[in-house]
């Protein structure tokens, strides 16, 4: 009962999927939604809050009655949530007690290169011998083709990541970014939510406290004994038909987790709730919807996108979400009679991945939250603001007889730069692709200007840091390079594509 289902083709929504033994599949909605713990600073000095996260191996009960080994920030999956304030610098000390090196990236954060979690900027655990030419942990090639021997930085045991947070309220997240191993390491659990708050956002009166809930959505597959399955970590998968294709297209599993629990249930009051939706999957995309929809009005009122609040709320009945994208939405459960169960479904899922989680409207309640018509000042960028135009093609190419994922036909090289934007300027970047590639820029937030020369999606609004470039589509964005100079990267956020070197550098000058 294990293996890979389906076959790969560009127009299939999901191709090969790793399967969990049917006997082990939990019954949906049997687990209450877990809420990750929120970090408390270990100390505050000179107005800077200091946090400590310890990466370690831990056991979690994800499938009822079974133990799953996870790699977690603070030993949990998702990791501890960090809730910080705009304009107030924090330091996060990440200590590595795992059996492998890591690099932590604050996704959507505007931080200096030294704190950006560059893939070769490693935090190495005790006893780890850095040997970039040799075999890596997981049997990989550890940067052999992509990194010059002197382009590694190895920090022992722990590293301070400095986050100035000179950016508005937003739903960010942090995750592992180790060269060649981000996909298996995130699959094992190395990801957490990171919320930025500010005064303007808090003055809006949006649902808050227990009615402001992060939902980290991702898919996984499990062995008979509860272990996470992943091609390069699971010898039993080697040589199975379809595994190669599944790996090329990105690894997906048949169990959908929300905050680390399979198809959980949340009991809600008949009131408005704010949900920070994150797709933390390695490769799976979802098209989220509510079933049934509300008696009146749209299912979701979107108040924010990847990098901050929208200028004004937008209504949607469906939210297409690709890996690493976020939607900050309000759902109004007072539009349902008490006693209703409302399922968050995935309209492009098949079988077990068609459902995500369930809400049970349990009681009437007082609600003094609101969604004002104006949310934040979002300066719409005009195409004429761009001082340069560049084009990047995300495509599979043959390099020395091997199929590889590339940007402009080049596999990643840590010492090559595909762009040198000037600090403080706006550029127009055009992405083309042969497949679904969720393109993510570090540092620079952007606005989506056009899809194949025409309209953008209703869900493309606001400041973003990740955009799903769909097969054979041309996506134009206006990106602002501000905050810091230096080396940053952009890449496909399908984590298997990323590990297969679909990444590139830009240098802010």
Contacting positions for Cu ion (CB under 5 A):
437, 492, 494, 497
Rounded least distance, CB 499 to ligand C2O, Å: 11
Q: Which does 175 bind (CB under 5 to 8 A by kind): ligand C2O, Cu ion, none?
A: ligand C2O
From the list 84, 169, 108, the residue with the least C-alpha distance to 375 is 169
Residues β-bridged to residue 158: 95
What, of ligand C2O, Cu ion, none, does residue 197 touch, CB below 5 to 8 Å by kind?
A: none
- Spell out the residues 6+ positions from residue 65 whose beta carbon is closer than 8 angstroms to its own: none
Residue 326, interface with ligand C2O (CB under 6 A)?
no
**Minimum separation from the CB atom of position 429 to Cu ion (A):** 16
Find the shortest distance in angstroms from Cβ 323 to Cu ion: 9
Q: Give the count of beta carbons closer than 10 Å to the beta carbon of residue 227.
A: 15
Give the x-and-dash track for 489-508 against ligand C2O (CB under 6 A). Answer: --x-x---------------
Strands, sheet with 265-270, edge to edge from the N-terminal-most edge strand: 265-270, 355-364, 341-346, 286-291, 319-321
Run of H or E including 183: helix 182-187
Residues 104, 161 contacting (CB under 8 angstroms): yes
Q: Which does 229 bind (CB under 5 to 8 A by kind): Cu ion, ligand C2O, none?
A: none
- Strand 265-270 with 355-364, pairing: parallel
Assess 146 for contact with ligand C2O (CB under 6 A): no
Nearer to ligand C2O, 182 or 301 (CB): 182
Considering only residues 276, 284, 358, 442, which one is a binding residue for ligand C2O as defined by CB under 6 A?
442
Phi and psi angles of residue 93, each rounded to the nearest 5 degrees, phi first = -90, 120
Binding residue for ligand C2O, selected from 56, 107, 358, 437, defined by CB under 6 A: 107
Q: Select 108 or 253, whichever has its Cβ closest to ligand C2O.
A: 108
Toward ligand C2O, which CB reaches closer, 49 or 306? 306
Out of 175, 274, 276, 437, name the contact with ligand C2O by CB under 6 A.
Answer: 175
Is residue 464 involved in binding ligand C2O (CB under 6 A)? no
In Å, how far are 180, 286, 380, 456 from 416, measured between CA atoms?
Answer: 17, 34, 32, 31
206 within 8 A of 371, measured Cβ to Cβ: yes
Residue 330 binding ligand C2O, by CB under 6 A: no
- The residue from 24, 146, 159, 440 that contacts ligand C2O (CB under 6 A) is 440
497 binds, among Cu ion, ligand C2O, none (CB under 5 to 8 A by kind): Cu ion
Pairing of strands 445-451, 474-481: antiparallel
Q: What distances in angstroms separate CA 284 from CA 248, 280, 453, one per listed residue?
A: 13, 9, 26
Sites of contact with ligand C2O (CB under 6 A): 105, 107, 175, 177, 324, 440, 442, 491, 493
């Amino acid at each position: 009962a294990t293996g890979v289902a389906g076959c790969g083709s560009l127009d299939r929504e999901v191709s090969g999927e790793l399967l969990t033994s049917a006997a082990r599949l939990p019954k949906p909605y049997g687990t209450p939604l877990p809420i990750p713990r929120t970090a408390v600073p270990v100390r505050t000095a000179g107005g800077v809050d200091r946090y400590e996260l310890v990466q370690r191996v831990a056991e979690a009960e994800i499938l009822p009655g079974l133990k799953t080994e996870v790699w977690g920030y603070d030993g949990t999956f998702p990791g501890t949530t960090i809730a910080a304030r705009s304009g107030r610098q924090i330091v996060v000390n990440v200590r590595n007690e795992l059996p492998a090196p890591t690099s932590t990236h604050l996704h959507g954060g505007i931080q200096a290169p030294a704190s950006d979690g560059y893939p070769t900027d490693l935090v190495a655990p005790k006893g780890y011998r850095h040997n970039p030419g040799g075999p890596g942990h997981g049997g990989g090639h550890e940067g052999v083709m992509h990194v010059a021997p002197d382009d590694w930085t190895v920090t022992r045991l722990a590293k301070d990541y400095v986050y100035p947070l000179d950016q508005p309220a937003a739903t960010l997240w942090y995750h592992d970014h180790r060269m060649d191993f981000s996909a298996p390491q995130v699959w094992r659990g190395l990801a957490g939510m990171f919320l930025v708050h500010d005064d303007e956002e808090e003055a809006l009166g949006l649902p808050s406290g227990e009615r402001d809930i992060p939902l980290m959505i991702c898919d996984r597959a499990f062995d008979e004994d509860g272990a996470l399955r992943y091609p390069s970590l699971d010898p039993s998968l080697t040589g199975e038909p379809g595994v190669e294709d599944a790996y090329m297209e990105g690894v997906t599993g048949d169990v959908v987790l929300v905050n680390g629990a399979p198809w959980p249930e949340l009991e809600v009051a008949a009131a408005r709730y704010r949900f920070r939706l994150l797709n933390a999957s390695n490769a799976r995309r979802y098209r989220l919807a509510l079933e049934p929809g509300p008696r009146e009005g749209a299912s979701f009122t979107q108040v924010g996108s990847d990098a901050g609040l929208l200028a004004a709320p937008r209504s949607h009945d469906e939210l297409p979400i690709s890996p690493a994208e976020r939607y900050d939405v309000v759902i109004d459960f007072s539009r349902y009679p008490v006693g209703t169960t409302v399922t968050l479904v995935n309209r492009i899922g098949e079988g077990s991945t068609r459902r995500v989680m369930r809400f049970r409207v349990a009681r009437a309640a007082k609600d003094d939250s609101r969604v004002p018509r104006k949310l934040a000042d979002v300066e719409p960028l005009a195409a004429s603001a761009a001082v340069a135009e560049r084009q990047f093609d995300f495509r599979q190419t043959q390099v020395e007889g091997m199929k590889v994922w590339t940007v402009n036909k080049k596999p990643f090289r840590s010492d090559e730069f595909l762009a040198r934007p000037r600090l403080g300027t706006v550029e127009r970047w055009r992405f083309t692709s042969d497949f679904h590639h969720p393109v993510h820029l570090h540092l620079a937030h952007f606005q989506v200007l056009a899809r194949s020369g025409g309209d953008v999606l209703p869900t493309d609004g606001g400041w973003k840091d990740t955009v799903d470039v769909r097969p054979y589509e041309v996506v134009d964005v206006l990106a602002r390079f501000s905050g810091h100079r230096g080396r940053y990267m952009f890449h496909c956020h399908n984590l298997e594509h990323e590990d297969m070197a679909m990444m590139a550098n830009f240098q802010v000058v």
